[in-house]
Structure 1
Amino acid sequence: MMDHVINYLSEINPVLAALYASIFTWLVTALGAAFVFFFKTMNRNFLDSMLGFTGGVMVAASIWSLLIPAIEMSEGEGFMQVLPAVIGFLMGTGFLFALDKLLPHFHVNFKQVEGVKSPWQKTTLLVLAITLHNIPEGLAVGVLFGAVAAGVPEASIGGAVALAVGIGLQNFPEGIAVAMPLRRMGISRRKSFYYGQLSAVVEPMAAVLGAFAVAFFTPLLPYALAFAAGAMMFVVVEEVIPEAQQNKDSDWATLGFIGGFILMMSLDVVLG
Structure 2
Amino acid sequence: MLETIINYLESISAVQAALLATLFTWFLTAVGAGFVFFFKQMHRPLLDAMLGFTGGVMVAASFWSLLAPSISMSEGEGFAKVMPAALGFVGGSLFIFLLDKILPHLHVNFKKAEGLKTPWQKTTLLVLAITLHNIPEGLAVGVLFGGAALAVPEATIAGAVVLALGIGLQNLPEGIAVAVPLRRMGMSRRKSFFYGQSSALVEPIAGVLGAAAISTFTPVLPYALAFAAGAMIFVVVEEVIPETQQDGNTDLATMGFIGGFTIMMILDVALG
Instruction: Give the aligned CA root-mean-square deviation in angstroms.
Output: 0.7
Which residue of the partner structure matches residue 220 of structure 2?
A: 220
Q: CA deviation at 1:54?
A: 0.1
Counterpart AA for 2:78: G
Rounded to whole Å, the distance in 1 between the matches of 2:235 and 2:76 is 30
Rounded to whole Å, the distance in 1 between the matches of 2:53 and 2:80 is 34
Deviates more, 1:212-221 or 1:162-171: 212-221
Q: Once the two structures are superposed, what CA deviation does each residue of 1:162-212 show, in whole Å capped at 9, x if it has no partner?
A: 000000000000000000110011000000000000000000000000001
Q: How does 1:20-39 map to 2 (within 5 A)?
A: 20-39=20-39
Which residue of the partner structure matches residue 150 of structure 2?
A: 150
Q: Once the two structures are superposed, what CA deviation does each residue of 1:186-244 show, in whole Å capped at 9, x if it has no partner?
A: 00000000000000000000000000111221100000000000000000001100111
Q: Once the two structures are superposed, what CA deviation does each residue of 1:38-79 show, in whole Å capped at 9, x if it has no partner?
A: 000011111011000000000000000000000000011101
Correspondence 1:62 to 2:73: no
Q: CA deviation at 1:251?
A: 1.1
Rounded to whole Å, the distance in 2 between the matches of 1:106 and 1:214 is 32
Correspondence 1:19 to 2:19: yes
Which residue of the partner structure matches residue 99 of structure 2?
A: 99
Q: Does structure 2 conserve the Cα–Cα contact (< 8 Å) formed by 1:108 and 1:130? A: no
Rounded to whole Å, the distance in 1 between the matches of 2:118 and 2:34 is 29
Which residue of the partner structure matches residue 50 of structure 1?
A: 50
Correspondence 1:265 to 2:265: yes
Q: CA deviation at 1:109?
A: 2.3
Rounded to whole Å, the distance in 2 between the matches of 1:108 and 1:139 is 24
Which residue of the partner structure matches residue 159 of structure 2?
A: 159
Which residue of the partner structure matches residue 8 of structure 2?
A: 8
Q: CA deviation at 1:90?
A: 0.7
Task: State the identity as a percent.
Answer: 72
Which residue of the partner structure matches residue 253 of structure 1?
A: 253
Q: CA deviation at 1:249?
A: 3.1
- Count of residue correspondences: 272
Counterpart AA for 1:17: A
Q: CA deviation at 1:247?
A: 2.3
Which residue of the partner structure matches residue 71 of structure 1?
A: 71
Q: Does structure 2 conserve the Cα–Cα contact (< 8 Å) formed by 1:108 and 1:239? A: no
Rounded to whole Å, the distance in 2 between the matches of 1:248 and 1:151 is 47
Counterpart AA for 2:169: L
Which residue of the partner structure matches residue 198 of structure 1?
A: 198
Rounded to whole Å, the distance in 2 between the matches of 1:248 and 1:112 is 17
Structure 1 runs (4+) deviating above 4 angstroms are none
Which residue of the partner structure matches residue 113 of structure 1?
A: 113
Where structure 2 has 5 or more consecutive residues not aligned to the other structure, the ranges are none
TM-score, L = length of structure 1: 0.99
Question: What is the DSSP-based 3-state SS (H/G/I as helix, E as strand, rest coil) of the residue aligned with 2:236?
Answer: helix
Question: What is the DSSP-based 3-state SS (H/G/I as helix, E as strand, rest coil) of the residue aligned with 1:254?
Answer: helix
Q: CA deviation at 1:128?
A: 0.4
Q: CA deviation at 1:250?
A: 1.4
Where structure 1 has 5 or more consecutive residues not aligned to the other structure, the ranges are none
Q: Does structure 1 conserve the Cα–Cα contact (< 8 Å) formed by 2:48 and 2:249? A: no
Rounded to whole Å, the distance in 1 between the matches of 2:108 and 2:233 is 16
Counterpart AA for 2:16: L
Q: Does structure 1 conserve the Cα–Cα contact (< 8 Å) formed by 2:15 and 2:212? A: yes
Question: What is the DSSP-based 3-state SS (H/G/I as helix, E as strand, rest coil) of the residue aligned with 1:116?
Answer: coil
Counterpart AA for 1:152: V
Rounded to whole Å, the distance in 2 between the matches of 1:108 and 1:186 is 15
Rounded to whole Å, the distance in 1 between the matches of 2:254 and 2:104 is 29
Rounded to whole Å, the distance in 1 between the matches of 2:6 and 2:71 is 25
TM-score, L = length of structure 2: 0.99
Q: CA deviation at 1:108?
A: 3.1
Rounded to whole Å, the distance in 1 between the matches of 2:169 and 2:88 is 26
Q: Does structure 1 conserve the Cα–Cα contact (< 8 Å) formed by 2:29 and 2:168? A: yes
